[in-house]
Structure 1
């Protein structure tokens, strides 16, 4: 009797459960249900504006007037626009130089903070200050530092007898580019340093002890242990760094408004100027849409290039 009961099929109530009920109870779909609210929010606030911007780029819409579909006319106009190509050059230069320097300085700071130093917790907190200060406040501070009349740098150099007059930092195109890049580096280094420091905390000290016993030099320890184990963290932090730097707007707009003579205009600031201030929404949307291929290439290089298995394992490409 007991054996017969054990071999009987599942109750009819369980067998008759609807496909929807079984789907809700499936463990394989649990991740999907947890991600669904976030996906809806991202779709509403990110995907929809992106698609709307792409559509506007194919129209002649202006502020207060619905546009008509004009195809690739906005892009053809930008192709012959010298200011647009100057903004592309500025954006690529700004992103490349700032990202490389931020990574180098951030990695160095992270290695220092990973050592046993006095007041380690306090120092780590102080390092974060440039990152947590609002961007506009940082931009105003740097605008004062590099001001043509009240620059603290010019004042110091004049009192030291190095120069006779003030330096027009934000009035010279090359100096202005250098100033905004320096300001971005100052703001971005703490993020990279703290993130890499978190990655360094996960490296087992026994690996360093074994390498030291085997007679490895500091460079060998760094290149064969630290760097390969940090590669996944580096890939993530550099992807975010490139993304944030390429789309930077607040710092540039608060410091220079894209001047002098468009020398510091990035694609984001030029898009705002053309689309909002000038009222040509279609042209501004076209500039913003043109940023997408550059972002995909930059993210692809920083992500997939740093995720090579050979580097992660400490080997070399074959």
Structure 2
């Protein structure tokens, strides 16, 4: 009887949705608190201190670090570069991701091989892929320059990473190349979920490809397009690997972004306080991007 009562109690406990919800959410909450909340709290604390790599003692300095950061022209250049870098990258990530998703859902021979090759750029470690691009865009031994010279497009080396505008364009191109497969996979799920009856009915009614695209495909997949844009914005705002490996923010800080400048000031330069202040400016930008995209998704769902 006692064993039966214990078994029955366990069954009742397992059927309680509130209890199960907390059990399954606990690992996620612990993970977020340990890797997000605690570092974020430390960044706020360091932003109001004089902590450096040489002197880890904590002394309150108020807004002095903020004043020093605001007086730094490289910070404002990094902020502007971050907005440009993110805006242009997100546009091309969404557009190319949509095009690639349409290709991946098409029925053709060898599509699984194509899908595997497309995902390689995303699954490859960012350091390894960035180093590969560093070699491809080398100022002297660039294979890209060699191909363009053979085709007659250029006569001398282009110096992709040595000129400000070309360096920023190169960084954006490499970043877009990395994230387009992720966006394509997310959008591909939306395309596969569209009932085939809708497209067939539209074809019978005489709707062409572009009309079906803008009146059926895009409206039905817009929430997933917004999700891919959100992931693209998060990865772009917080990414410093591509910039750091390709240009180190150069030439003359023309490709410096907030993430890379925060790292160079806080870790490379040893000024933990200023690095924390610069890093904190990523939070409102990420929050604004997330709120705008999620509100757009909610608006579409209520239509």
| TM-score of the superposed pair, with normalisation by structure 1 | 0.87
- The correspondence of residues 193-212 of structure 1 with structure 2, limited to 5 A, is 193-212=184-203
Is residue 2:246 matched to residue 1:259?
A: no
Q: Per-residue displacement from partner, 1:196-223 (whole Å, max 9, x unpaired)?
A: 1121111110111111112222222112
Structure 1 partner of 2:65 = 74
Structure 1 partner of 2:53 = 63
State the alpha-carbon separation in 1 of the partners of residues 141 and 194 from structure 2.
Answer: 47
Is residue 2:20 matched to residue 1:36?
A: no
- The correspondence of residues 60-209 of structure 1 with structure 2, limited to 5 A, is 60-65=50-55, 66-209=57-200
State the alpha-carbon separation in 2 of the partners of residues 114 and 24 from structure 1.
Answer: 41
Contact 1:231–1:307 (Cα < 8 Å) also in 2: no
Is residue 2:289 matched to residue 1:302?
A: no
State the alpha-carbon separation in 1 of the partners of residues 93 and 280 from structure 2.
Answer: 27
Q: Per-residue displacement from partner, 1:154-175 (whole Å, max 9, x unpaired)?
A: 2223334443321111110110
Quote how far apart the aligned CAs of 1:34 are: 1.6
Quote how far apart the aligned CAs of 1:27 are: 2.7
3-state DSSP of counterpart to 1:168: coil
3-state DSSP of counterpart to 2:52: coil
Quote how far apart the aligned CAs of 1:305 are: 2.2
Structure 2 partner of 1:10 = none
Quote how far apart the aligned CAs of 1:24 are: 8.8
Give 5+ residue unaligned stretches, structure 1.
Answer: 1-13, 15-21
State the alpha-carbon separation in 2 of the partners of residues 116 and 25 from structure 1.
Answer: 44
State the alpha-carbon separation in 2 of the partners of residues 101 and 116 from structure 1.
Answer: 25
State the alpha-carbon separation in 1 of the partners of residues 34 and 253 from structure 2.
Answer: 34
State the alpha-carbon separation in 1 of the partners of residues 152 and 197 from structure 2.
Answer: 54
State the alpha-carbon separation in 2 of the partners of residues 160 and 121 from structure 1.
Answer: 33
Quote how far apart the aligned CAs of 1:192 are: 0.7
Quote how far apart the aligned CAs of 1:61 are: 0.7
Check 1:217–1:149 CA distance in 2 against 1; reply closer, same or farther (3 A cut).
Answer: same
State the alpha-carbon separation in 2 of the partners of residues 57 and 264 from structure 1.
Answer: 24
Runs of 4+ in 1 over 2 A off after TM superposition: 22-30, 156-164
State the alpha-carbon separation in 1 of the partners of residues 156 and 113 from structure 2.
Answer: 40
Q: Per-residue displacement from partner, 1:221-240 (whole Å, max 9, x unpaired)?
A: 11221112112212222111
Is residue 2:35 matched to residue 1:27?
A: no
State the alpha-carbon separation in 2 of the partners of residues 211 and 284 from structure 1.
Answer: 55
Larger Rg belongs to:
1
